[in-house]
DNA sequence: TGTATTCCCGACTAAATCACTCGACATTGT
DNA sequence: ACAATGTCGAGTGATTTAGTCGGGAATACA
């Protein structure tokens, strides 16, 4: 499994923040409830996202978390690499994007290609798009229900 | 990490068998030495590959392992799914390829796409191609060395 | 000043998975 | 018979996953 709950939950949290942008800080407890993430676990993920500059947090009553940048400027790739570390599908293609030594193992080129394609796709998706997608889906569900 | 040593070593072993096709059974010890895999570990991987019909094994002196099918008919995807189980990059897209319930999590569609692309690529690569690639690389190395 | 609210941080843990090893056993060629 | 080979399952130490817990720090407000 390339993506664990760290990455999944973390992205869920950012989607939640993006959805409530401009409404002031959003509290951990609200994110946890809406996105079905254990609150005390979410805590660690928010800490990581703060360390890497994705969110700003304020304490005290009325405090909470907000995006540090516009949702359109936050790439899914960067979020996931912050939370999960390298997204390499196999150890040997981790960082070394240079094709210096094809080396020993005859299947490495296949994974290089897959990795690059994956990173490209993840680069092309922003928080803004994820939120839009979600809204579209909600609207569809509402229509289906009303019928 | 999507692919562990199981998948990597297992494919290495099959590449070795493909390279020595038609020369009679290849022994575990030879594969292990040539491909840098612990012999007693390789044992388990060969067992799995046998269960799923990729290789045939014979005991006794002069025994060993051979491919059960032509290298051109063995897709990398099938080998890896035999050794690793599902190659889904995230749990929720494991088997359910049907897009029945987009459900809760707003990033699932991204991973669906990545998963499908990955499976397509892995479907398009056969053992025969891996061997050819390896031979090409060996030839290049020889040329470079001779200069 | 006191108190409630919220985030911050590190320690701890149970369960699962990984990457193997080891030993007993089965089969086969000479 | 015996040596060479594969077959099988149990066991193991290290690492990762998916959390929990508790104490502390900052802030708003009365
Ligand atoms: S060692 Fe990287 S693909 Fe085999
Ligand atoms: S639950 Fe599958 S992508 Fe979030």
Q: Is the pLDDT of residue A97 over 60?
A: no
Q: Which ligand has its closest atom nearest to the C-alpha of B76? A: 1
**Phi and psi at residue B52, in whole multiples of 5°?**
-95, 15
Residue whose structure tokens are 């390339």: A2
Q: Tell which strand D nucleotides have any atom below 7 Å from a protein Cβ.
A: 3-9, 16-22, 25-29
Q: For position B90, what pLDDT does the model report?
A: 97
Q: Do the Cβ atoms of A131 and B106 come within 8 Å?
A: yes
Q: Is the pLDDT of residue A76 over 90?
A: yes
Q: What is the pLDDT of residues B123-132, one digit of tens each?
A: 999 999 999 9
The alpha carbon of residue A83 and the mean position of all alpha carbons in its chain are separated, in whole angstroms, by 8
Mean pLDDT over A124-143 rounds to 92
- For residue B55, what is the enclosing H or E element? strand B55-58
- Of B85, B82, B43, B37, nearest to B65 (Cα)? B43
- For residue B67, what is the enclosing H or E element? strand B64-67
Residue whose structure tokens are 């407890």: A29
Q: Is the pLDDT of residue A141 over 90?
A: no
Q: For position B98, what pLDDT does the model report?
A: 57
Q: For position A115, what pLDDT does the model report?
A: 97
Compute the distance between CA of residue A126 and CA of residue A138 in angstroms, rounded to an integer.
Answer: 19
Q: Is the pLDDT of residue B134 over 70?
A: yes
Q: Do the Cβ atoms of B106 and A2 come within 8 Å?
A: no
Share of chain A above pLDDT 70, in %: 93
Give the distance from residue A54's alpha carbon to the nearest chain B alpha carbon, in angstroms: 18
Q: Which residue's alpha carbon is at the smallest distance from atom 3 of ligand 2?
A: B108
CB burial of residue B61 (10 Å; 0-12, 13-18, 19+): exposed
Compute the distance between CA of residue B69 and CA of residue A13 in angstroms, rounded to an integer.
Answer: 49
| Residue A101: band (very low, low, confident or very high) from pLDDT cuts 50, 70, 90 | low
Residues with CB under 6 A from ligand 1: A 90, 92, 105, 107-108, 111; B 8
Q: Is the pLDDT of residue A3 over 90?
A: yes
Give B-chain residues touching A106 at CB under 8 angstroms: 11-12, 15, 130-131, 133-134, 137
What does pLDDT average to over chain A? 93
Identify which of B90, B102, B134 has the shortest CB distance to residue A1.
Answer: B90
Q: How many CB atoms lie within 10 A of CB A135?
A: 12
Residue A36 region, left (φ>0) first, then alpha (ψ -120 to 50), else beta?
Answer: left
The pair of structure tokens assigned to B103 is 């459900």
């Amino acid at each position: 499994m390339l993506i664990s709950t760290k990455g999944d939950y973390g992205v869920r949290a950012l989607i939640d923040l993006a959805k409530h942008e401009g409404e002031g800080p959003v509290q951990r407890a609200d994110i946890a409830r809406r996105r079905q993430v254990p609150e005390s676990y979410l805590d660690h993920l928010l800490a990581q996202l703060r360390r890497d500059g994705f969110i700003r947090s304020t304490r005290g009553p009325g405090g909470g978390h907000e995006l540090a940048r516009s949702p359109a400027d936050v790439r899914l790739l960067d979020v996931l690499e912050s939370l999960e570390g390298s997204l390499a599908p196999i150890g040997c293609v981790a960082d070394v994007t240079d094709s210096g030594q094809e080396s020993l193992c005859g299947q490495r080129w296949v994974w290089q290609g897959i990795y690059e394609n994956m990173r490209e796709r993840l680069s092309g998706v922003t928080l803004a798009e994820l939120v839009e997608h979600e809204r579209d889906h909600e609207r569809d569900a509402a229509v289906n229900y009303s019928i």
